[in-house]
Amino acid sequence: MNKEQESLLLNSSSRFLIPQGVKISYGTAGFREDASILSSTVYRVGILAALRSLQTQSVIGVMITASHNKVSDNGVKIADPNGGMLSQHWEPFADAIANAPSPQQLLQLINEFVEKEKIPFDGIRPAEILLGRDTRPSGDALLEAARQGVTSIAGAVASDMGILTTPQLHWMVRARNKGIKASEQDYFDQLSSSFRCLMDLIPTERSKFDGINGKLVVDGANGVGGAKLKILHKLLNDLDIEVRNSSEDEGVLNDGVGADFVQKEKVVPRGFGSKDAGIRCASLDGDADRLVYFYVPPETNAQIDLVDGDKILSLFALFIREQLSFLNEKEAIKNYHKARLGIVQTAYANGASTNYLKHLGLEVNFTPTGVKYLHEKAAEFDIGIYFEANGHGTILFSESFIEWLEVRSNELSSGSKGSEAEKAALRLLAVSKLINQAVGDALSGVLLVEVILRHMGWSIHKWNELYHDLPSRQLKVKVADRTTVVTANAETVVVRPPGLQEVINAETAKYTQGRCFVRPSGTEDVVRVYAEASTQEAADTLANSVAKLVDQFLGCNSS
C-alpha cells in the first residue's frame, strides 16, 4: 500500500473506534452482536470486502443482517465471488481486524495481510462491492459504516442495493460475476419464468389433481421476505398465496414469528391459529434464507405439525431422483453421464430423515452446522442437495452437469420430442435456474416446494407422511463463556471441557433411540442442546437433563 492509501485508511478508521472490553468473533454466518456495538466491525468488514474484491478481481457482497436473531441485534455476512459465504481461509483475518485495538494496529494487520495474500492494488479492476440490508432499524447506519469501509480503499466502488433478502444479494453477486443481468427484477424474472416452466411440465393427469388445498399462507417473520414474496407473487398466476407478518405489518421482527421460532417451539406463529386448521402454511426467517412448512391439526391449541428442512430435503431428493431415473432409461445413449447425487445434513437432522434418505439408496454426508460447510460438501456432487433441519438449504448443480443437460435436452428435443427423458432434462434445467445456486433461499424454496407438490399431486399431509420424525427437543443454555465448549465429529462429540461427553453418553444411554449432542451457537451467546428419543416426554427429559449437566460443567442458567 502506498502512503496515500495508508493515510486514507488511518483517517477513516479513526471515525470507527472499537467498543472497549468486547471481543467480537466471526461465527456461523459472519459477525452478529447487539447492533449498538457493531459499527466499527461493519466498517472493517467493508475494508475486508474491498480487499477480497481486489484479490479475486470480482464483485463481492456485504449483507447487513442478523437473520433469525432478535431485532436489537444486527450482523454482517460476506458473499464471495461465486455468491457463497466468504472463503473460510479469510475468517481469521476477519476476526483479527474486527478486534484490532487502534487504527495503527488495524493498518499494520492490513499491510501484513496484503503482503501475505499478494493483494494487487494496481489490478486492472478496482474493488466493487454490492451492499444490502434487511429491515432492521439499525440497518441504515450500519450500511453507511460498510460503505465508508469499502471506500477507504482507493478507487473502490460501493453500490447500495437497498433492502433485500440475504439470498437476493448473494444471487446478485453470483450473477454479476457470471456476467448475467443481476438486478432485483432479473432475480424475480428468473424465479418466475423457471417456476412457470416447471408448472408447464407437470404431467397432465396430475395437473388436475385437486387434493392439494389451494391456498398457501406464509408467515414472513415481520421481516424482509414477506414484502418480497408479495412482489414475486404478482408475477405468478398459478399460486394462491396469502402473506402474514410482513414487514409492512405492525409486529416485531422474529418475535413469536418466523422459521426459527416455528421450528424450535413447534407452535403457531403470531397471526395463525385454529382458523387455519388443515391449511398449508410456511414460515420464512428474518432475512428469508430459511423456510419451514407446517399445518395446524384440527382441534389443537397452538401446536403444529412441523414439516421442516429435513422433509423439504426429502421432497426435493425424491423429485430429483425421479427425473434422473427418467434420464437413465436411455443408458445406451452416446455420452451417457450418470449423475452423482449427494445429500448433506448436519447432526440436527432428525434420525428418521437420515434413515429414510439412506433407505432410498442415497449417499448422505454430514458436516458441522453452518451453510458454509454444507454448501462446500454439496458442491462436490453433480447434484448436491443440502438442508439444515432449521430450513436453510438449496440444491447445487455442477457446471459440467448443467452443460451435459443442455446438450442432452437439445438432442432429445430433436429426436424423441415430448419423451419423459426430454421432460426430465428440461425439469432439471428449470430447477437449476429456480433454486438459488449461491445460498439457501426461502423464496425460491417456496416456489420449488409448491411446484413439486403439484407434480406429485400431494397435499402437505401426504408429504408429511413420507416418514415420521423421532420426537426431539432443542434447548438453549446461557453460559459464562460458550467458547469453552469444543466439539468434533460434525459436532456430535464434546472434546472440551473434559468429562462432559462421558456424562452426556451415560444420560443418553438411559433412553430408547436416545441421541443427544451439545454445541456452542455461532450466532447467539448460548450453548445449544439437541435431544431425540422414542417419545416426546423422553426427548424433553433427556434435553433437560443434559442442559443441567452443561450448567454444572460451565456454570450457567438454562432457558
Tell me whether residue 9 or residue 531 sits nearer to ligand G16 (CB atom).
531
Are the C-beta atoms of residues 77 and 63 closer than 8 Å to each other? Answer: yes
557 is in an annotated binding site: no
CB of 69 to ligand G16, least distance (A): 7
> Among all chains, which residue has been given the C-alpha cell 421432460?
423
520 is in an annotated binding site: yes
CB of 224 to ligand G16, least distance (A): 12
In the numeric block, which cell numbers belong to residue 61?
457482497
The per-residue DSSP string of 249-309 comes to SSSPTTSS-SHHHHHHH-BPPTT--GGGBT-EEEEE-TTS--EEEEEB-TT-SSB-EEE-H
Tell me whether residue 314 or residue 487 sits nearer to ligand G16 (CB atom).
487
* CA distances to 224, 264, 326, 405 from 425, in Å: 34, 37, 9, 6
543 is in an annotated binding site: no
Question: CA angle at residue 390 from 37 to 215, to 5 degrees?
Answer: 115
Interface with ligand G16, residue 136, by CB under 6 A: no
Tell me whether residue 87 or residue 521 sits nearer to ligand G16 (CB atom).
521
Q: Which stretch binds ligand G16 (CB under 6 A): 189-197, 323-331, 387-395, 487-495?
A: 387-395
Q: How many angstroms separate the most distant Cα atoms in the chain?
A: 72
In the numeric block, which cell numbers belong to residue 1?
500500500
Q: Binding ligand G16 by CB under 6 A: which of 5, 13, 28, 345? A: 28
* CA distances to 114, 332, 433 from 338, in Å: 44, 11, 21
From the candidates 40, 53, 67, 314, give the one annotated as an active-site residue: 67
Give the 3-state secondary structure of residue 540: helix
Interface with ligand G16, residue 222, by CB under 6 A: no
Q: How far apart are CA 493 and CA 507, in angstroms?
A: 14
In the numeric block, which cell numbers belong to residue 198?
416447471
523 is in an annotated binding site: yes
388 is in an annotated binding site: yes
25 is in an annotated binding site: no
3-state SS of the chain: helix, strand, coil percent to 5? 45, 20, 35
67 assigned to active site: yes
* CA distances to 219, 303, 518 from 468, in Å: 24, 17, 24
196 is in an annotated binding site: no
The residue among 144, 161, 137 whose CA lies nearest residue 15 is 144
Give the 3-state secondary structure of residue 425: helix
Q: Binding ligand G16 by CB under 6 A: which of 184, 289, 422, 507? A: 289
CB of 227 to ligand G16, least distance (A): 18
- Residues contacting 219, CB < 8 A, separation 6+: 226, 244, 245, 257, 258, 262, 269, 271, 272, 281, 282, 283, 284
Interface with ligand G16, residue 219, by CB under 6 A: no
Q: Binding ligand G16 by CB under 6 A: which of 522, 541, 548, 551? A: 522
Half-sphere CA count of 320, side-chain side, radius 13 A: 29
Q: Binding ligand G16 by CB under 6 A: which of 57, 105, 413, 521? A: 521
Site string for ligand G16, 249-288 (x = CB under 6 A): ------------------------------------x---
Q: Which stretch binds ligand G16 (CB under 6 A): 191-199, 243-251, 319-327, 365-373?
A: 365-373
Are the C-beta atoms of residues 62 and 144 closer than 8 Å to each other? Answer: no
Q: Binding ligand G16 by CB under 6 A: which of 449, 524, 529, 549? A: 524
Q: Binding ligand G16 by CB under 6 A: which of 44, 52, 68, 133? A: 68
389 is in an annotated binding site: yes
158 is in an annotated binding site: no
Interface with ligand G16, residue 528, by CB under 6 A: yes
305 is in an annotated binding site: no
Chain centroid offset of residue 496 CA: 28
Q: Which stretch binds ligand G16 (CB under 6 A): 39-47, 307-315, 367-375, 463-471?
A: 367-375
Instruction: Count other C-beta atoms under 10 Å from residue 66's C-beta.
Output: 31
Tell me whether residue 264 or residue 330 sits nearer to ligand G16 (CB atom).
264
Q: How far apart are CA 66 and CA 73, in angstroms?
A: 6
CB of 13 to ligand G16, least distance (A): 27
Q: How far apart are CA 499 and CA 220, in angstroms?
A: 43
Interface with ligand G16, residue 390, by CB under 6 A: yes
Q: Binding ligand G16 by CB under 6 A: which of 9, 18, 24, 29? A: 29
390 is in an annotated binding site: yes
Q: Which stretch binds ligand G16 (CB under 6 A): 40-48, 173-181, 503-511, 518-526?
A: 518-526
Interface with ligand G16, residue 369, by CB under 6 A: yes
Interface with ligand G16, residue 392, by CB under 6 A: yes
Question: CA angle at residue 66 from 99 to 384, to 5 degrees?
Answer: 105
DSSP category for residue 349: S
Give the 3-state secondary structure of residue 444: helix
Tell me whether residue 371 or residue 428 sits nearer to ligand G16 (CB atom).
371
Q: Which stretch binds ligand G16 (CB under 6 A): 204-212, 246-254, 368-376, 475-483?
A: 368-376
CB of 524 to ligand G16, least distance (A): 5
Q: Which residues are annotated as a binding site?
A: 67, 285, 287, 289, 388-390, 519-523, 528
Q: Which residues are annotated as a binding site for Mg(2+)?
A: 67, 285, 287, 289
Q: Where does this chain bind ligand G16 (CB under 6 A)?
A: 28-29, 67-68, 285, 289-290, 369-371, 388, 390, 392, 521-524, 528
Catalytic residues: 67
